[in-house]
Structure 1
Amino acid sequence: MYILIITNSMDLTVDSIIHQFSDTVSFFRFNTDKFNDYEIKVTNEDTVISNTISNVSININDCHGVYYRKITLPDLQGFDAKYRNLMYKEMMAIIEGIAENAGKVALTRPSILKKADNKIVQIHVAKEVGFTVPPSLLTNSNNSAREFVASQESSIVKPISVGRINTSQTVNFIQTNIVKDTGYIEGLEFSPAYFQTYVEKDYEVRLTIVYGECFGVKVESSNNVDWRKKDAKVHYSKIKVPEDIEMKCYEMMDKLNIHFAAFDFIVNKQKYIFLELNANGQWQWLEEKLNLGISDKIVEYLTGEDKNEK
C-alpha cells in the first residue's frame, strides 16, 4: 500500500519524510507545480496518476493514506492571460478531487481543511469548547475597524487567510502587526482584515497534535508581536500543556473533523489564550530542533499502523 503525498517540488518537509521512511514505506509524490509532468486518468472505476519523468504510476485504489500538503500550481505566463484562471481552476478541480477520494485516511481532505482553517469558524468553535479568545473583529468596514482599535489599549492586525503576495520576482508574506494609528486604516471595503486586542505574553506555545498525540513547544521570542518575523531571536523548548487545554484542543479537532492541527497560544501569568489553529501547519523545523517525532506519528497514521487513537 502507498502513501500519496500531494504537494510541490520545493516542499522540504516531504523531502525529509521520504528520506526517513522510504526503506519501509512506499510513497508516491505528486508535485502539483509540475502538473504537466504527470498523466492523470480518472474513469468510473479507477484513478491512475503516472509520473512521465520517472515512469512510476499509482492507482489510488492502492493508496492507504493521502497527505495533502502545500499546493502550488505551475507558472502559466506562457499562456494567454484570459485563459489562465480557467486553467488553474481545472487543475485544482483534478487535484482536490483526487485528494478527496484517495486513501482510507487523510491529512487532510481539502473540503475539511478549508472549513477548519477559516478564522470565523475557528473563533466560534474555540469559544464553544471554552478557550479564552482575545476580543476580535473581522471586517471590511473602515469605521468599525477604527472604532474597535480606538476602544482598545493596543491592537494588532493580521490576515484573515494566507497573507501571501505574489509578484513576478518574489513571494512576500503579511504577518501580524501592531496598529499604531487609526489614520492608517483604509481600503478595507474590498480587502477585509482581522483585528484583535493585543495581549501581553510571558511566552507562546505551539501545540502540534497528530491523531491523539501532543507535541508542545514553548516559544520565547525577542519580538513581542509575532515570533515568525525574520528579525526575531527565538528560543524553543519542550513543554507539557495543562490537561484542560489539551482536552479542549481534542474537542475542537473533533468538531472540525481533523486529525492534525497546530495550535498557537499566548500564555500570560499561566493563562492560555487561543490565537489560532492551522490545520495544515508547518512542523518540521520544530521536530529537527527538539527531536519531537511528529513525522513518525504522521507516517504511522497514514499507513494504518497507529494504535493510539483518542
Structure 2
Amino acid sequence: MILCITHSRDFYNIDLFFDYLTAKGIPYFRLNSDKLNHDQKISISQNSFELTDESGKTIKAEDVKAVWHRKSWMIDIPEELDDAYRKIFLKEYSTLRYNLFTMLENVPWINPFENENRIDGNKMLQLNIAQKNGLIIPETLFSNDAEAITGFFHTYGNGKMVAKLHGVISKSMGGENFLSTNIIDENSIQDIADIEYCPMIFQPYIEKEYELRIVYLDGEFFTGKINNSENADWRIARGNYFWSEYHLPENIKTSLTAMMKEMGLYMGAIDMIRGKDRKYYFLEVNPQGEWGMLQKDLDFPIAQRIADNLIKRMKTNE
C-alpha cells in the first residue's frame, strides 16, 4: 500500500495519482494532514501504529510500503476549544504527527521526511548547495536590520531589488493566500525601518526574459516556461501569460541533478529565471511545490511518474 500524505482540500494532482494507482492495481491510503487531530483515532507503540481517519478507514504501519509526502497543512483546531488550550492542542498533535511520520522512515518516501524539512525550511542552505553545484544564484540577504538592508540595496540593487517572506507560499497557483514578492526602489527603501517586525529575504532585481517552473523527479525533468518579464513573480501576474514546454540545457540539468542529490530529494519544484544577460539564475526549490498547471496545460505525466517511482522502489525494498 502507498500512503499519500496530503490535506482535505487537495484535488486534481492527487486524483490523477490515485486514478493511476487504481489502474495499476496498487492499493493506497489518503491521509489528510490537517485532520490528524481529534477527528482521527491514533495509537502509536514502539514498533507500530494504528490510525482510523475521519471517514472511518483504518491503516496500520505494517500496511505501508511507500509514502508520497504530497503536502502537509497546519492541523485544524476545533472552534469550540478554549483559547487557553489551543497552543497545547496544536503542540501535542503536531508531536503525534511527527512521531507517526518518522515511524515509517524505513520505507521509500518522496521525499525523505527529514531531508525535506531541512531543505524546505532553509533558503540560504538551498542557495549554497545550488552554487556549490555550478548554478548561478543572486546575491541574497535575509535580515531585519534596516541599515544592513539599505547597504545591500546600494551595493547590489542598482536602483531596484525584490523582497519576500521566507515561509509564505500560495495555497494554489491562482494566487489565493499568496503574499507577493515586493519591489523595493529608491523611494520605498526609505520606509524600510519597520523591517525589524518581520525579517525578509532581499535580492537584486534581475531583468529577465522569462521564468521557469521545473519539476525534477529522480533525474527526470518537466519544465514549463512562462513569458512573464514585467512582473516580479508569475504567480501574481495577470494578463496573457501561458505555459509552454521548455528544454533545459544539459549543463543546467547536470547541475540541478547534482544539487537535488546532495539535498537528498527525489522530487522538487524548482524556480529559475533566464536573465536578459542570457544567464540562468536559480531562485529556490520547493519539495512540495505545485505542478498541476504543467500537467494540465502541457500534458506532462508527472502524477504517473511519481507513482511509477514509488512502485519501483517499493518492489526493490521488498
Within a 5 Å distance, the mapping from 1:225-264 to structure 2 comes to 225-229=232-236, 231-264=238-271
**Partner Cα distance (2:130, 2:310) in 1:** 27
Q: CA deviation at 1:178?
A: 0.8
Paired residues, number: 300
Matched, 1:50 2:52: yes
1:162 paired residue among 165, 168, 190: 168
Deviation at 1:42, TM superposition (A): 0.9
Deviation at 1:110?
Answer: 3.4
Are the structure 2 counterparts of residues 277 and 65 from structure 1 closer, same or farther at C-alpha, using a change threshold of 3 Å?
Answer: same
Task: Return the match for 1:142 from 120, 139, 146.
Answer: 146
Whether the aligned pair in 2 keeps the contact of 1:223 and 1:229 (CA below 8 Å) is no
For residues 117 and 54 of structure 2, the distance between their equivalents in structure 1, rounded to whole angstroms, comes to: 31
Unaligned runs of 5+ in 1: 166-170
What's 1:186 paired with? 193
Amino acid at match of 2:191: Y
Q: Could you tell me how far apart the structure 1 residues matched to 2:168 and 2:195 are?
A: 16
Report if aligned partners of 1:68, 1:108 keep a CA contact under 8 Å in 2: yes
User: Within the alignment, does 1:273 sit opposite 2:278 as a pair?
Assistant: no
* Range with greater deviation from structure 2 (100-109 or 62-71): 100-109
Quick one: which amino acid aligns to residue 282 of structure 2?
A: F
Decide which of 71, 74, 77 is 1:75's aligned counterpart: 77
Deviations 1:94-152 (A, max 9, x none): 22222223261112233211211210111211121121111111111111112212332
Q: Which has the higher contact order (CA 8 A, sep 6+)?
A: 2
Q: Matches of 1:33 and 1:230 in 2, distance apart?
A: 29
Alignment of 1:281-296 (within 5 A): 281-296=289-304
CA shift in 2, pair 1:16/1:75, >3 Å: farther
**Residue 5 of structure 1 aligns to which amino acid in structure 2?**
C
1:305 CA displacement = 5.8
Equivalent position SS for 1:304: helix
CA distance in 1, matches of 2:206, 2:229: 15
Q: Kindly tell me: are residues 160 and 275 of structure 1, through their superposed partners in 2, closer, same or farther at Cα, counting changes over 3 Å?
A: same
8 Å contact kept, 2:138–2:281: yes
CA–CA separation in structure 2 for the residues paired with 1:76 and 1:149 = 45
User: Is contact 2:108–2:314 with CA below 8 Å preserved after alignment?
Assistant: no
Cα distance, 1:206–1:240 mapped onto 2, change above 3 Å:
same
2: CA distance, partners of 1:92 / 1:82:
17
Moved more, 43-52 or 236-245: 43-52
Deviation at 1:223, TM superposition (A): 4.1
- Any gaps of 5 or more consecutive residues in structure 2? none
Partner of 2:9: 10
Q: Residue 215 of structure 2 corresponds to which residue in structure 1?
A: 208
Q: Distance in 2 between matches of 1:109 and 1:90?
A: 23
Displacement after TM superposition at 1:275 (Å):
1.0
Matches of 2:224 and 2:169, distance apart in 1: 24
Q: What letter matches 1:81 in structure 2?
A: D
Distance 1:31 1:11 in 2: 9
- The amino acid that maps onto 1:278 is N
Per the TM alignment, residue 273 of structure 1 is displaced from its structure 2 partner at its CA by 0.8
Normalized per residue, the structure richer in strand is 1
The percentage of counterpart residues that share the same residue type is 28
- Structure 1 residue identity aligned to 2:288: N
* Offset, 1:195: 0.4
Asked if 2 retains the 8 angstrom alpha-carbon contact of 1:177 and 1:226, the reply is: no
- 2:31 and 2:19 mapped to 1: Cα distance? 16
Q: Which amino acid aligns with 1:259?
A: Y
Question: Are the structure 2 counterparts of residues 38 and 140 from structure 1 closer, same or farther at C-alpha, using a change threshold of 3 Å?
Answer: same
CA distance in 2, matches of 1:8, 1:158: 25
Distance 1:83 1:292, change over 3 A: same
Report the 3-state secondary structure (helix = DSSP H, G, I; strand = E; otherwise coil) of the residue aligned with 1:124: helix
Shift of 1:232: 4.4
Find 2:178's aligned residue among 173, 178, 202.
173
> d(CA) in 2 for partners of 1:257 and 1:184?
40
1:32 aligns with 2:36: no
SS of 2:238's equivalent?
coil
- Tell me the equivalent position of 2:66: 65
Cα pair 1:3 1:28 within 8 Å, conserved:
yes
- Corresponding residue SS for 2:135: coil
Contact kept, 8 Å, 1:99 with 1:109, in 2: the verdict is no
